[in-house]
Chain A
Amino acid sequence: MTFPSHHPDFPILSVLIFSPLVAAAIAVFIRSEGLLRWWTLASTIVIALVSLPLWCWFDATTAKFQFVEHAAWIPSLKISYTLGIDGISLLLVLMTTLIMPLCVLCSWRYITKRVKEFMICLLVMETAMVGVFCALDFILFFVFWEAMLIPMALLIGVWGGPRKIYAAIKFFIYTMAGSILLLVAIIALYLKVGSFDIRAMMGHPYAAEFQCWVFLAFFISFAIKVPMFPFHTWLPAAHVEAPTAGSVLLASILLKMGTYGFLRFSLPITPHATHVFTPYILWLSVIAIIYGGLTALAQSDLKKLVAYSSVSHMGFATFGIFALNVNGIEGATMVMINHGVTTGALFIAVGIIYERLHTRDLGETAGMGKFMPVFAGFLGIFCLSSLAFPGTNSFIGEFLVLAGGFKVSKLMAICTVPGVVIAAAYMLRMLQKVAYGHVNNPDHSQLADLNLREIVTLAPLLVFVFWIGLHPQPFIHVMHASVQHLLEQANGPLANAAVALR
């Protein structure tokens, strides 16, 4: 594919951020539910297509922020409208725009009430999510970060399951608590630097104690979002009650904001504190990997199972990030992308089961694979991907994270290995039951296999499973310079004092 070269004045990031909002505004005036679905699908696909040139125009040889847009916003407070992406955020932006059409597709039949409001929520979410990954001004970032909360809480609270209000409020309170700490940290940094520009905040010589406080505020805020053990308890509730599209967005994109926060803010802004807290965070990650896996093993609700597996997988992401070496951070970013692809697909698969059987209980879904061979095939591949089967996407992420881990501490890396084994156990247990289990459940013979819409929903994710799994070089290449630069910031002279202390 060849695109005309990038015109430096064309504000592609702004276009990406605000076109969903425009689409949502138009959706307000559409009456027919059918037309609404098609409109949302069409607009998300167009936005996804518009985001593709980012990949082609991106210059992977430099760690500089690219496609930068800058405009004064509130000059008296030095708040500006600044956007830009580097190799890490590029991948996350692309994942967001590519996942959105799938979210619309998997809600096609699932959402029957208040379709208009649902689609508007999805589109507003897209604006906020892309905005979070592109913002280079801390206030702008915070606005998008908060803007995401409300539509997400609505998705859970309006279109959710039986305990939707409980789940929505729990989600809201947890994330809100984190946001407040984040805001405090932002203001504290502003008072030191005198600007909200994220780039200006990096590399500023803050005092060691100050860094530690800022780091802790960041950490709690992002750890809730990831979620890291012990801040994870909102996640299973939110996932279980959320509609399929909500779960997919939550798993694929929202959780990544926590790890993105670590990469974008914690490491480069507070490198000294990062080194101080690294051992503790690594151990927390190890606990998350094992604990998430063991809990997933004990679940009989499919959504809870996948939700707890997320805790475990995101443990690998944080483990890789705080390994603070190239393998670790590249692996962590790959884990983030892979988790988005695979767990998103698994939630869509669980949604497909729920639409047919109106249950997510492992026992009652057992044996449906016999009557839905195509579905069983998809589910099988996504389960294998989730347990990091070699040749699938997750393997490459976990391999790099483990390699990074071994370079830091052999003991810690070995401690994560049981998590890998448990992942195989809970995923194969689920696959075995659903695809191959007892065939005496009475009502499964009437089940229809996947229809074209469902195949179209899952197929792109399948492509990514094998593309990343067998040819990950382009993805790693695109972030390499940015990761190198990030490590220079995190391990640079400002961090040396801390290294000497350890």
Chain B
Amino acid sequence: METTPDIRLLLAILAPLIGAGLVMAARKRPNVREACSLLAATVMFGITASLIPDIRAGKQLAFTVFQLLPGLSVTLRADALSMIFAVSASFLWIVTIFYSAGYMRGLNEHAQTRFNTCFALALFGAIGCAFSDNLFTLYLFYEIVSITTYPLVAHHQDEEGYEGGRKYLVYLTTTAKGLILPAMVLIYVLTGSLDFAHNARSGILPPGLHHGIVTALYVCCILGFAKNGIMPLHHWLPGAMVAPTPVSALLHAVAVVKVGVFSTVRVMLYVFGVDTMSALNLGLPTAYFVSITILVASAVALSKDDLKARLAYSTVSQLSYIILGVALLTPAGIEGGLIHIANHAFSKITLFFCAGAIYVATHKKKISEMGGLGRAMPFTFGAFAIASLSMIGAPPVAGFVSKWYLLLGALDAGSIGILVVLLASTVLNAAYFAPVVYHAFFGKPPEADAHHHHREAHPAMVIPLSITAVISVLIGIYPDFFMRFVKAVLQ
């Protein structure tokens, strides 16, 4: 495949970094500060969008920023896989900036400059991961995301915040340092290079390696990118729910968990490769392993009355769809997994936006207290309903496309077990999302609400969540935009 050097990749990751600096410089003037964020986000999205035609034309773009040692460099690459993540992340950042301005000002939160700076830095890490050309670069940006999102998670700086933040860092840095770092060093020792392969088939490991070592490396990589939320290393995610809602939205839809799954998938396909994974029979065991996460997390979500906690466990479950799809190692399975990166991003961010809007408008967190709210907040709950359908996998919303391909993939792989898992999880998804929507539109308001008249939150919040809901439908009806990238990954 043709690889062309292109400086736009560097510019794309510099945009949020410089944006973070500008945000800090404009600390005294909130409007200028938000404008800086917006400018950075727009520039980043613009540059990312400008790469689309080249990638569509089958090119691979690369840019070496630093050469540390032979085979060890900070190099950026844009290919079809990175575009799926980069386009959704950079677009959703723009939407989130509007939303978070509304949310943070609506609640009069403290330290908004620090918040916005770290937000931009987290996006710097995320887009860096998307554009990584080797394991070292991926690891570098992965760690940047961990560090820069800590102040966001512990934003409230109270006991609960510190506890959530501590758990967050302990889980994420321990796994990265304890599993990814040794795996990376060993791969470097074995191959002399950490550069990703140029296709998803061959991987970079030389043939003839001891199967035990390859399997150990594989396990380290699957568990080491703990941002992917695979059980039992998922506890940081519900713990991080103490963060302000825009952070949760960003965490769950864009920067953090998607970095985790993206990294996992990148390593599965471009370090190990489909051929090695098939040869060592690593695919189906992985699929069954993450199936546990899919089912257990859904069951836990069912038991949560706190809306954000329910969404958190839903995320844990949905992330594993992506890994499951890729682990099936069939074209349809991989396609279903990869397109779910984008589909889940748009739908899940909508759900979190809704949760935040409900909180700002009514200060309610518990689902049981939201009876009848749908009539007072029709746009918010309408968007929630649409995104829920996507999570369940109902047509014509985005999630349907993912589930369709995943089911096809499971059939191709001839695995009835996985098929059952997918169907069971769909039932569970419906079981924990449908009551929320039903209760909101048709339920009775609680006694205490009799004297309150709730209204929609500020338009700065309602408009973004409506946009993401509409997009969730659009990419369900016209999946072609992301599907073309997904198909290109397998070519």
Contacts and interface: CB of A to CB of B under 8 A. Distances in A.
Say whether A associates with B.
Answer: yes
**Residue from B68, B140, B150, B154 whose CB has the most chain A CB atoms within 10 Å:** B68
A476 B69 contact: yes
A388 to B, nearest CB: 8
A413 interface: yes
A421 B136 contact: no
A246 to B, nearest CB: 32
B174 A424 contact: yes
Contacts of A418: 178
Nearest to A384: B147
Interface stretch (A84-92, A211-219, A396-404): A396-404
Given A420-B177, A424-B177, A436-B154, A413 B68 contact: no
B177 A402 contact: no
Interface string B151-191: 10010010000000110011001100110011001101100
Given A391-B74, A417-B181, A421-B174, A471 B136 contact: no
Contacts of A470: 66, 68, 74
A428 B167 CA distance: 12
Q: Which 9 A-B pairs have the closest CB atoms?
A: A390-B140, A402-B185, A470-B66, A424-B173, A421-B178, A406-B189, A421-B177, A420-B177, A417-B182
Interface in B78-132: none
B135 to A, nearest CB: 11
B6 interface: no
A407 B189 contact: yes
Contacts of A406: 185-186, 189
Contacts of A472: 68-69
Nearest to A401: B185
A371 B422 CA distance: 52
Contacts of B449: none
Contacts of B169: 428, 432
Interface in A466-492: 470-473, 476
Contact of A439 (B72, B150, B151, B157): B157
Interface string A433-467: 00010110000000000000000000000000000
Contact of A425 (B151, B157, B170): B170
Contacts of B181: 402, 417, 420
Contacts, number: 70
B143 to A, nearest CB: 6
B188 A403 contact: yes
Given A399-B185, A402-B185, A407-B189, 17 more contacts: A389-B147, A390-B143, A391-B74, A396-B68, A399-B188, A403-B185, A403-B188, A406-B185, A410-B186, A413-B185, A420-B181, A424-B177, A432-B150, A432-B165, A436-B157, A470-B68, A476-B69
B189 A403 contact: yes
Interface of B: 66-69, 72, 74, 136, 139-140, 143, 147, 150-151, 154, 157, 165-166, 169-170, 173-174, 177-178, 181-182, 185-186, 188-189
Grouping DSSP codes into helix (H, G, I), strand (E, B) and loop, the B interface class, with mixed when no group exceeds half, is helix
A473 B72 CA distance: 11
Contacts of A428: 169, 173
A26 interface: no
A414 interface: yes
A384 B173 CA distance: 12
Given A390-B139, A417-B178, A420-B178, A471 B185 contact: no
B68 A471 contact: yes
Nearest to B175: A421
Contacts of A413: 182, 185
A391 B140 contact: yes
Contacts of B170: 425
B209 to A, nearest CB: 13
Contacts of B189: 403, 406-407
Interface in A157-216: none
A439 B114 CA distance: 15
Contacts of B66: 470-471
Nearest to B66: A470
A473 B143 contact: no
14 contacts: A390-B136, A391-B74, A396-B69, A399-B72, A403-B188, A413-B182, A417-B182, A420-B177, A424-B174, A432-B166, A436-B154, A436-B157, A472-B68, A472-B69
Nearest to A390: B140
Nearest to A466: B66
Contacts of A389: 143, 147
A337 to B, nearest CB: 15
Contacts of B186: 406, 410
A473 B178 contact: no
**Residue from A406, A407, A476 whose CB has the most chain B CB atoms within 10 Å:** A406
A391 B140 CA distance: 7
A417 B220 CA distance: 13
A465 to B, nearest CB: 14
A420 B67 CA distance: 24
B439 to A, nearest CB: 39
A458 B181 CA distance: 29
Contact of B151 (A384, A410, A421, A436): A436
Contacts of B74: 391, 470
A233 B139 CA distance: 36
B275 to A, nearest CB: 25
Contacts of A432: 150, 165-166, 169
A280 to B, nearest CB: 23
Given A391-B140, A424-B173, A471-B66, A402 B147 contact: no
Contacts of B157: 436, 438-439
A391 B147 CA distance: 13
**Residue from A400, A413, A421 whose CB has the most chain B CB atoms within 10 Å:** A421
Contacts of A384: 147
A402 B186 CA distance: 8
A421 B173 contact: yes
Given A406-B185, A406-B189, A473 B67 contact: yes
Nearest to A399: B185
Nearest to A416: B182
A428 B66 CA distance: 26
A469 to B, nearest CB: 8
Contacts of A399: 72, 185, 188
A472 B165 CA distance: 33
A391 B157 CA distance: 29
Interface string A373-397: 0000000000010000111000010
A403 B186 CA distance: 7
Nearest to B182: A417
Contacts of A396: 68-69
Given A390-B140, A396-B69, A470-B66, A414 B177 contact: no
A424 B174 CA distance: 8
A383 to B, nearest CB: 10
Contacts of A438: 157
A294 B165 CA distance: 21
A281 B188 CA distance: 25
B412 to A, nearest CB: 38
Contacts of A407: 189
A39 to B, nearest CB: 39
Contacts of B165: 432
Contacts of B185: 399, 402-403, 406, 413
Contacts of B151: 436
A471 B143 CA distance: 19
A408 to B, nearest CB: 11
Contacts of B69: 396, 400, 472-473, 476
Contacts of B174: 421, 424-425
Nearest to A433: B162
A414 B182 contact: yes
Contacts of B147: 384, 389
A26 to B, nearest CB: 44
A400 B140 CA distance: 16
Nearest to A407: B189
A439 to B, nearest CB: 7
A405 B253 CA distance: 39
